[in-house]
Structure 1
Amino acid sequence: MLLTIAIGAGVVVLDQVTKWWAENSLSTGERVPLLGELLGLQLAYNPGAAFSFGANSTWIFTIISAVAVAAAIWFTLRVRTVSWAIVIGCLGGAVTSHLGDRLLRPPSFGQGHVVDFLAYGNWFIGNIADIFIVGGALAAVLLTATVPDRGTVDAAR
């Protein structure tokens, strides 16, 4: 459980520090190439979900983020293996950081926009928490597929 909490806290700190850096170092909309057109830095504020889906429904994503944080806490209290502790820590930290953005960033409480700054070609702009969400989800699928007899949680607790 402590490993999960430590990883989650580390993800929150890393995500928020990089967002702070992006806001203080980049101009909104201006792209700084890192790997040509493939990867760059571009500050954007996202009111929606991935690919700015649901941009007019920010409050729904705030509720979804809160439910995801509650689920991460539930799993954290029941984790049984180091591999799942790492996965839950990554996912829990990422959704907690996004929830913090939704609650505390402009334009208002519960309607905050997520700070994005990693531009992947012309496809989308994301952040560090997004990397942990995708990586954690892929790791969860891999763990489930390769070690089905070693469950995530102890449901009897």
Structure 2
Amino acid sequence: MLFYFSAFLIILLDQLSKWWVRHHMAISEVIPIGGLIHEFRHYENSGMAFSLFQGYARLFGVVALIFISLVLYYRYKGEIHGRVMNVGAGLLVGGAAGNMIDRFWHGTVTDFIVFSDGGGILNLADIALNLGVLLFIAGMILNHYSSREKKRKYP
């Protein structure tokens, strides 16, 4: 249930935030924020991360669909288990789906979050993907040590 809830929540929040940006900000418009989030800047990315491979948004949409299918397959096979891994996988699927929807529907991905460290321009789906990777890896490590401990107790 955590998997589906986190995936759905990310898709919903991501799409609502992008809708707001597309309807209330002109492209390249900047809204200063301050703090960790330096500003909101409306940017339409037709490529992938770091604006690489511009013009291939729909191709990356297909890649996202394949990625989502693989996560669902491994989850079905029982390879993804535990709360942390399921939330991580949900964030990965939600983030990939959020950007995939943009790629297929608009031909671009709406980015708008600029952090104060200057690490590029992101959206909520991108943040969910990054957090999902961290949680997924943490879940793998926790599951590894948990299974090791069980083997030690019950040889």
Do the two structures share a fold, i.e. TM-score over 0.5? Answer: yes
How far 1:72 sits from its partner (Å)?
2.4
Q: Which residue of 2 aligns with 1:118?
A: 113
Q: Which residue of 1 aligns with 2:129?
A: 133
Q: Secondary structure at the match of 1:56?
A: coil
Q: Secondary structure at the match of 2:121?
A: strand
Q: Which residue of 2 aligns with 1:102?
A: 103
Which aligned pairs between 1:1-157 and structure 2 lie closer than 5 A? 2-35=1-34, 39-77=38-76, 78=78, 79-105=80-106, 112-121=107-116, 122-149=118-145
Moved over 4 A (4+): none
Larger Rg: 2
The code of the aligned residue for 2:122 comes to: G
How far 1:43 sits from its partner (Å)?
0.6
Residues 150 and 27 of structure 1, relative CA distance in 2, 3 Å threshold: farther
Residues 125 and 58 of structure 1, relative CA distance in 2, 3 Å threshold: same
Q: Is the deviation greater in 124-133 or in 70-79?
A: 70-79
**How far apart, CA to CA, are the structure 2 residues paired with 1:75 and 1:132?**
19
Q: Quick check: which one's helix share is greater?
A: 2
Q: Is the deviation greater in 138-147 or in 25-34?
A: 138-147
Deviations 1:100-140 (A, max 9, x none): 111111xxxxxx10111112344421100001001111222
How far 1:36 sits from its partner (Å)?
6.5
**How far apart, CA to CA, are the structure 2 residues paired with 1:44 and 1:19?**
10
CA contact (8 A) 1:27 1:42 kept: no
Q: How many residues were matched structurally?
A: 144
TM-score (norm 1): 0.81
CA contact (8 A) 2:82 2:143 kept: no
Q: Is the deviation greater in 9-18 or in 139-148?
A: 139-148
CA contact (8 A) 2:84 2:138 kept: no
Residues 53 and 6 of structure 1, relative CA distance in 2, 3 Å threshold: same
**How far apart, CA to CA, are the structure 1 residues paired with 2:109 and 2:135?**
24
